[in-house]
Amino acid sequence: MRTDIPADVTTLLRTAPWLDEALRRGPFRVLDQAVLGPSRLLVVAPADGAARYFVPVLDADPGREATRTADHDRAVVQALRDGLRLPTAAGNVVEFDGGPPPYRGPLPFAPGWSSNALSLVDLGGAAHVHKAYRRMSAGTREPRMMRLMGPGGRTQRWVGDYHYVERDTGRRLPLGVVYAYADGDGLDLPLRHSIRAMWPLLADGVGVAGAVDTVQRGLVDRLPEAGRFLRAFHDELADRLGPAPDFPAERFVAETATRVARLGPLILADDRHPGPVRAAVAAALADELDRQAAAAPGSWPSGATHGDLHLSHFLRAETGAGWRMCLIDLSTPAVDPADPDRADQSPWQDLVSLLRGLEIFTADEFAHQAAIELDVDGDETCRTALLVTAGHPPDTAGWTADRLAVLRRSQAAAQLWARRVRRLLIAGYADPGTEPERQPAWRMFRLRRLVHELDYAYAHDMPYHAAINLRHALETLRPATGEG
């Protein structure tokens, strides 16, 4: 088989937004290919050979991607209906499996940025999503998880999937999945409406607590429901996957210690912020680690996770009698008992991730509001909020006492608003009388998540996000108590 690559496919890959920037430079090789109707399915390896990518292109015009075109979607759906086994040029097979209703046509869909290729299609009169994975990996478990969990109704209903099956190893790498469209918006939508309704009340002189009460009136019943839904999802996952091994708490704490130690010097070297602020954050992280590591271990819930839970993967639709909910993009990191990573999961990690998503969402909304009210950009808002939280005066021009008072009040209001959302969600999730947030396991999961976010912000030079995460790290030292 020829492994050189048509020039126009190279051009396509050089500008592909879904490919890591470093890999876009090429060169590329075609490792395998097969023709499916109007499409040529390419298996492409960038120069380092570390990963393989699934790149369907138009057979008649290989410089154009076939994904998200009607002809390609139609061909894939038909192949699923036929249970097609499509031999490839290098002697492997693409296996199609499922029973989707017949293809009728494309539907408009704007899912926003995603690392994969998603299109919305009309199958037998109902909306379905065709999701094609760009990166080929046996670690993509979404189709399998959807088959497992779809019948319970807490994630999308699977109707078909297709895999690249290696002849020599028998390994099956998911290439795509088709599922019934789960109607709804992310949890961020009602939250955004709520927090954005708060600012005008504050401007009219309503007190912070009263304003939060008012704008959360529509959420006080719904958010505990959402918490219960997530708990039921975890219970179902545990039922379907069988007994989970104990969570390796000791190893997790040791690994977290290593990561905190590695992050400290990065924070201390971050000269965008005054030295004492950096020192305070580094100390906050180290203190939190020491305190939680020294505490009585408490319980470490074990069990499989969603694996990538954030507000927009938590869909909800108002039905009049409550929310209909659905968790999408199941990314469970390991499911097989023999997989060494199987134990490294705790359902609390999902809830902690979701709540970190909430905190970051709130910081974004706070920055958005500051831009309107104070005419400052997000970087400046987040940086100044960090300094103020650390007890350090602002060190950039224009922060008069009045302006600073507005910033502080918005920050306090945003914090109280988020704290109540968090408590409502946890109240629905947790067993009565338990306080997960006080458990060392919870605090350790939260710390680890923060360290991960900060590592990412430093590795990708994202000062806005770094300032938010540094502030949140600092707030960990002074956990919210009392009112709220």
The residues that bridge with 93 in the sheet, in sequence order, are 87, 165
CB of 328 to Mg ion, least distance (A): 9
Cβ neighbours, 10 Å, residue 16: 16
Please report whether residue 315 would count as binding ligand ATP according to CB under 6 A.
yes
Applying CB under 6 A, the span of 90-98, 214-222, 281-289, 308-316 interacting with ligand ATP comes to: 308-316
Q: How far apart are CA 160 and CA 76, in angstroms?
A: 10
Q: Which two tokens stand for residue 186?
A: 């992310």
Peptide bond into 340 cis (omega under 30): no
What is the nearest approach in angstroms of Mg ion to the Cβ of residue 194?
27
Count of residues of this chain found to bind Mg ion when the rule CB under 5 A is applied: 1
Q: From ligand ATP, Mg ion, none, which one binds at residue 450 (CB under 5 to 8 Å depending on kind)? A: none
Binding flag, residue 65, Mg ion (CB under 5 A): no
What minimum distance in Å lies between the beta carbon of 329 and Mg ion? 4
Residue nearest to Mg ion (CB): 329
- CA atoms within 13 Å, Cβ hemisphere of 335: 23
Which of 32, 65, 270, 329 binds Mg ion (CB under 5 A)? It is: 329
| Host H or E run for residue 318 | strand 314-318
Smallest gap from Cβ 51 to ligand ATP, in A, equals: 15
Question: Quick check: 129 binds ligand ATP (CB under 6 A)?
Answer: yes
**Cβ–Cβ contacts within 10 Å for residue 17, how many?**
8
- The reply to whether 307 sits near Mg ion by the rule CB under 5 A is no
Rounded-to-5 percentages of helix, strand, coil across the chain: 50, 20, 35
| Contact with ligand ATP (CB under 6 A) among 270, 329, 365, 380 | 329
**3-class DSSP state for residue 146?**
helix
Piece of the chain touching Mg ion by CB under 5 A; list 5-13, 59-67, 325-333, 433-441:
325-333
Binders of ligand ATP among residues 139 to 178 (CB under 6 A) are 156
Size of the site for ligand ATP (CB under 6 A): 17
Residue with tokens 């088709």: 178
Could you give the CA distance from residue 154 to residue 411 in angstroms, rounded to a whole number? 35
Residue 418, C-beta contacts closer than 8 angstroms, at least 6 positions apart: 358, 359, 362
Give the end-to-end CA distance of the chain in Å, rounded to a whole number. 66
Quote the CA–CA distance of 226 and 322 in Å, as a whole number: 10
| Residue 67 near ligand ATP by CB under 6 A | no
The one among 84, 157, 172, 181 contacting ligand ATP by CB under 6 A: 181
Residue 176 in the binding site for Mg ion (CB under 5 A): no
Stretch that binds ligand ATP, among 5-13, 86-94, 109-117, 252-260 (CB under 6 A): 109-117
Our finding on whether 137 is near ligand ATP (CB under 6 A) is no
Determine if 111 is a binding residue for ligand ATP (CB under 6 A): yes
**Residue 465: which residues within 8 A CB-CB, separation 6 or more?**
360, 453, 456, 457
Three-state DSSP class for residue 184:
coil
CA dihedral 130→132→138→144, nearest 10 degrees, is: 0
Output the CA torsion sign for 399, 400, 405, 410.
Answer: negative
Q: Does 73 bind Mg ion (CB under 5 A)?
A: no
Q: Applying CB under 6 A, does 18 fall inside the site for ligand ATP?
A: no
Closest to ligand ATP by CB, 62 or 98: 98
Binding ligand ATP (rule: CB under 6 A), the pick from 33, 92, 116, 292 is 116
Q: Does 359 bind Mg ion (CB under 5 A)?
A: no
Residue 6 carries which side chain, given as an amino acid letter? Answer: P
**Minimum gap (Å) between residue 181 Cβ and ligand ATP:** 5
Q: Which residues bind Mg ion (CB under 5 A)?
A: 329
Q: Which residues bind ligand ATP (CB under 6 A)?
A: 111-112, 114-116, 118, 129, 131, 156, 181-182, 308, 312-313, 315, 328-329
